[in-house]
Amino acid sequence: MKLFTGLKKIREFERLQLPFLKSVVDFDIVIEIGYAEEQRQPLTLKQLLLLNITSRTTVRRKLARLIEQGIVIRRKHANDNRASLLIISPSSIKLLSKYGGTLTSISALHFK
C-alpha cells in the first residue's frame, strides 16, 4: 500500500484541475450547493448560511468569488422573485465528475 503516493497524485490533480478550490471552505460550499442540486432542492443563500460551514461573512466572501469565477451560478427562484437559487455551473460539474473518477481510480490502485 502506497498511501502517500496516492495522496500526492490526488493533491496534484486538485492543484492543476481545481485551482478555484483554494480552501476546505471553498470545497465545502461547492459540495453543499451541488448536493442540494442533486437532491432537486437547490439552496438559497440563506439556506447555505444556515448550514454553518463557517462564519456568514466568510461564506458570503467565498461564495462571491466562486460566482465571479463562474463555478457557482445564481439563478432567480421561479416562485419567489426575492430569492436566488445557487447551482454549480455545468462545466464545473463536468470537472468535478472527472475529479471523482480520478479519486476512485487512485484509491483502487493505492489504498487497497
pLDDT digits (tens, 9 = 90+) for 1-46: 577 888 888 889 889 989 888 899 999 999 999 999 999 999 999 9
Report the pLDDT value the prediction gives residue 37, as an integer from 0 to 100.
95
Q: Which residue has the cell 480520478?
A: 102
Per-residue HEC secondary structure of 17-60 comes to HCCCCCCHHHHHHHHHHHHHHHCCCCEEHHHHHHCCCCCHHHHH
Asked, for residue 28, whether it belongs to a domain, the answer is yes
Report the pLDDT value the prediction gives residue 78, as an integer from 0 to 100.
78
Strand partners, 77: none
* Percentage of the residues of the chain whose pLDDT score is greater than 90: 59
The boundaries of the domain holding residue 47 are 23-98
* Percentage of the residues of the chain whose pLDDT score is greater than 70: 96
Asked, for residue 13, whether it belongs to a domain, the answer is no
Asked, for residue 111, whether it belongs to a domain, the answer is no
- Confidence bin at 110 (pLDDT 50/70/90): low
Listed in sequence order, the residues at least 6 apart from 41 whose beta carbon sits closer than 8 Å to its beta carbon are none
Compute the distance between CA of residue 75 and CA of residue 14 in angstroms, rounded to an integer. 27
Report the pLDDT value the prediction gives residue 106, as an integer from 0 to 100.
80
Query: Among 21-25, 40-44, 59-63, 101-105, which is the least confidently predicted range?
Result: 101-105
Q: Could you tell me which of 85, 6, 95 has the C-alpha nearest to residue 47?
A: 85
Cβ atoms 62, 25 nearer than 8 A: yes
Asked, for residue 12, whether it belongs to a domain, the answer is no
Number of domains in the chain: 1
Report the pLDDT value the prediction gives residue 92, as an integer from 0 to 100.
95
Asked, for residue 53, whether it belongs to a domain, the answer is yes
Report the pLDDT value the prediction gives residue 108, as an integer from 0 to 100.
79
Return the CATH number at 50.
1.10.10.10
Asked, for residue 59, whether it belongs to a domain, the answer is yes
Asked, for residue 73, whether it belongs to a domain, the answer is yes
Task: Output phi, psi for 21, to 5 deg.
Answer: -95, 85
Asked, for residue 65, whether it belongs to a domain, the answer is yes
